[in-house]
Structure 1
Amino acid sequence: MKQSHYNKKLRHFAKKLRNDSTDGEIILWKKVLRARQMYGYQFNRQFPVENYIVDFICRKLRIVIEVDGYSHQFKIEEDKERDKRLLEIGYQTIRIQEYDIKTDLKNVIIAIESLVLDQEKDLGFKQ
């Protein structure tokens, strides 16, 4: 990631968010993304990018994973702007409903794997 996209001014807030993770974020982190479980790629959680703190990021593959809970029903336009900006700086965003993580983790994993493999192919990486 280009250093200019990392916003160290938000580091303290990101740490607070890591400590206050939602149930869906915890499940996704522990069962899918932590410790290079996803095809060996490193994911970080609650990571500051520009003026945003993204839920999960794989900087090598330029992927952002956002877990959307109830509150996101009221932030649709804000989320669209955020995704647009992240795409402008080179990040593909996938939005996953917290409910789906809790009730259908298998298909959530399939969706993330698909994006990882697509990005891997598009960026010319081979595992």
Structure 2
Amino acid sequence: MTEAEWRLWYQLRGHHFEGLGFRRQSPMGPYVLDFVCHEQRMVIEVDGGQHGTGAGRPRDVRRDAWLAEQGYRVLRFWNADVIDNIEGVLRTIADSLMLPPTLPSPTRGEGFGDGGPEAGETDR
């Protein structure tokens, strides 16, 4: 793994990130994925400069299309982004997750039982 991959793995490993299980260097079909969360059907790739030029870009396009056919979303980050802005990378990953919304606990004056229409009151 590259330095950038190690830095991201440190944040994702052991269910520390949003309680999700990520695997690193995980084989899938003809590919080895940098990181994958099967529960979220999300792949995270950390790319070096070879991905932006020459044969690297078309290869990534084919790979991403194959993963999409399998029902996986792919997030790609440049090595420099992970190293220089890990907080922003983690925020982007978190924003991309499809987690069920958490509902706040009803407190005084909120939710049912506060005498509003939800409690059976009608407008007459």
Normalising TM by the smaller chain, what interval?
A: 0.7 to 0.9
Q: After superposition, what is the alpha-carbon deviation per residue over 1:35-73, rounded to whole angstroms, capped at 9, x for unaligned?
A: 111110000000000000000000111000000112212
Aligned alpha-carbon RMSD (Å)? 1.3
Aligned length: 100
Structure 1: state its 5+ residue gaps: 1-20
AA partner of residue 66 (structure 1): E
> Does residue 52 of structure 1 match 2:31?
yes
CA distance in 1, matches of 2:68, 2:37: 14
The Cα of 1:78 is off from its aligned counterpart by 0.7
Give runs of aligned pairs for residues 20-39 of structure 1, distance below 5 A: 21-30=1-10, 32-39=11-18
The Cα of 1:120 is off from its aligned counterpart by 2.5
Partner of 1:113: 94
Q: After superposition, what is the alpha-carbon deviation per residue over 1:103-122, rounded to whole angstroms, capped at 9, x for unaligned?
A: 11111111011112xx234x
Partner of 2:48: 69
Q: Please report the TM-score for the alignment, with normalisation by the length of structure 2.
A: 0.77
Q: Which has the higher contact order (CA 8 A, sep 6+)?
A: 1
> Does residue 101 of structure 1 match 2:82?
yes
CA distance in 2, matches of 1:93, 1:47: 14
Q: Which runs of 4+ in 1 moved over 2 A?
A: none
